[in-house]
Chains A and B, each alone.
Chain A
Amino acid sequence: GNSVTQMEGPVTLSEEAFLTINCTYTATGYPSLFWYVQYPGEGLQLLLKATKADDKGSNKGFEATYRKETTSFHLEKGSVQVSDSAVYFCALSYRGGTASKLTFGTGTRLQVTL
């Protein structure tokens, strides 16, 4: 079946540090890959996505590359800010009957301090 594995959190960084959150997946076929972010007390926001191998998704300084050979979609940012503190979910999308279904990772909490 499909699954997503994310690194355990929390990840604690100082402001302006480099961020990597690891995400690997297991899937049949050719899923699309997503990163969603959830700020405290809010819903999920789409951060970035990639729909095929070697695609790079990017948004707000965050990047992730769809690596089919390593089944990975690691999230990176060169310089984090306190406002990036949130929970980050890696997810894959696959066709489930007549609609797409998302499989989420467990989420990684990021805490950025001054």
Chain B
Amino acid sequence: DTEVTQTPKHLVMGMTNKKSLKCEQHMGHRAMYWYKQKAKKPPELMFVYSYEKLSINESVPSRFSPECPNSSLLNLHLHALQPEDSALYLCASSHRTSGSTDTQYFGPGTRLTVL
């Protein structure tokens, strides 16, 4: 089973709201990722967690706050977003093997609209 689940599927929020995106995997993967994808563009990496520790932050604004409560769960907390943050947010996970052979498996995404 190579399933990564994400909730909610759609989210509409105002610029003053606080909301959270959730991601879950039960494949025993030890690396988890957040990506942002704008229309007609490839995904852009935001954050990487490796063994529940933040490993990579691609200079993402602080209004996005990731959290990894355990090895199966990944959250993305959203606060004071801007309309340009509207996008598809994708979660992915991988075994975190050494070298470059690690394969990332993606969830279905959360479609976020910021009004």
Contacts and interface: CB of A to CB of B under 8 A. Distances in A.
Interface residues of A, number: 30
B64 to A, nearest CB: 18
A96 interface: yes
Given A44-B90, A99-B50, A104 B104 contact: no
A24 to B, nearest CB: 16
Nearest to B89: A43
Interface stretch (A15-23, A28-36, A59-67): A28-36
Interface in B15-33: 31, 33
17 contacts: A30-B100, A32-B100, A32-B101, A36-B106, A42-B109, A43-B107, A43-B108, A44-B92, A49-B103, A99-B55, A100-B96, A100-B102, A100-B104, A102-B43, A102-B45, A102-B104, A107-B42
Interface of A: 29-32, 34, 36, 41-46, 49, 51, 89, 92-102, 104-107
